[in-house]
Amino acid sequence: MVNIDGGFDLMENWLSSLSAVGGMAKKTIEAYRHDVSHFIHFISNHYGKRSSKAVLSKVNVKDMRSWISHARSSGLSPRSLARALSAIKSFYRWLGQTYGISTTAVLSTRTPKFEKPLPRPVKKSDAKNLINQIDIQSEKEWINARNVAVITLLYGCGLRISEALSLTFDQTPLPDILNIIGKGNKERIIPVLPIAQSAVKKYLKECPYSFLPGDYLFKGARGGPLNQRIIRKVMEQTRIQLGLPSTATPHSLRHSFATHLLEAGGDLRVIQELLGHASLSSTQAYTAVDQASLMSVYKKAHPKA
């Protein structure tokens, strides 16, 4: 590994190692670059010196408090601040392992507390109504069939919209078990419901375009790859027609998939695997949703509530 001294050069060396060894997603790399760049700029101005290995090694608890204060005064939300601190800590762990730099002050900095918003799933009946209503949005039947197939995969399999639109023609007819490459190039196995298989089969039957090996499964109106914005727009149009809240988005169908599985007695660990969450704590948010729903029913039904 090249011995680089400049702060930004060190950062790029670290990011390259993450990309090469960790297989980290490009969007995550860019987020890390953004957050750590701002930190290096701050430390450079704070010390009045060009950022370097020596300057970064001097960062102490007081400096970290100054950075947090600066970030907050700049309008950074607690959530964004927590994300930035996580990136900085990852950078310093690498500096410590690679160059022996002291990391105590940075790694001991506490992440600011913030309330994580609970997932906002749609009701089972609303999910069904959404799919039925989406089926009549376009004058072209094949586009309706395509949109229904995408939405069914989001709700029936818990896919992210990017994952659904990354499916290729080579993966059809959809098998009973589907291998999905999600965030961070993590692979997970998803059972495919017959209703999702049928929806995709109907779309392929009605699609006016031909497919070549390797083509994306879902095509746009002109035959190119389908853009996420189209599905988001269709979903927005449909939820307005049905009088559903603005939280009824394509991603909320993934939340609905998890919540409805949990309500039906699904195991939290299994749901974690199906969603592709790296940490169980991410999946545990759905237990709070379920509890909130139960308490709402309880308060309405219990005579002394």
Look up 160 and say whether it is catalytic. Answer: yes
Which of 183, 188, 201, 232 is flagged as catalytic? Answer: 183
Of these residues, 38, 146, 254, 260, which one is catalytic? 254
The tokens describing 122, both together, are 């749609």
Q: What is the per-residue burial (b if ≥16 Cβ within 10 Å, else e) of 73-95? A: eeebeeeebebbbebbbbbbebb
CA 59 to the chain's CA centroid: 32
> Mind giving me the DSSP string for 197-225?
HHHHHHHHHH--S---TT-BSSB-TTSSB
Does 286 qualify as catalytic in the annotation?
Answer: yes
Q: Residue 277 catalytic?
A: yes
Catalytic residue among 277, 298, 299, 300: 277
Q: Give the separation between CA 299 and CA 242, rounded to whole angstroms.
A: 27
146, 160, 239, 260: the catalytic one is 160
Coil, strand or helix: which one is 177? strand
72 counts as catalytic: no
> Which residue, chain included where needed, has tokens 């160059």?
99
Is the distance from CB of 192 to CB of 176 less than 8 angstroms?
yes
- CA dist., res. 158 & res. 151, Å (int): 10
From the candidates 92, 155, 203, 286, which is the catalytic residue? Answer: 286
Partners of 125 in the β-ladder: none
Active site residue 232: no
Contact yes or no for 165/265 (Cβ under 8 A): no
Q: Is 183 a catalytic residue?
A: yes
Residue 256 CB-density burial (10 A; 0-12 exposed, 13-18 middle, 19+ buried): buried
- Residue entry with tokens 């078990």: 177
Q: Tell me which residues are annotated as active site.
A: 160, 183, 251, 254, 277, 286
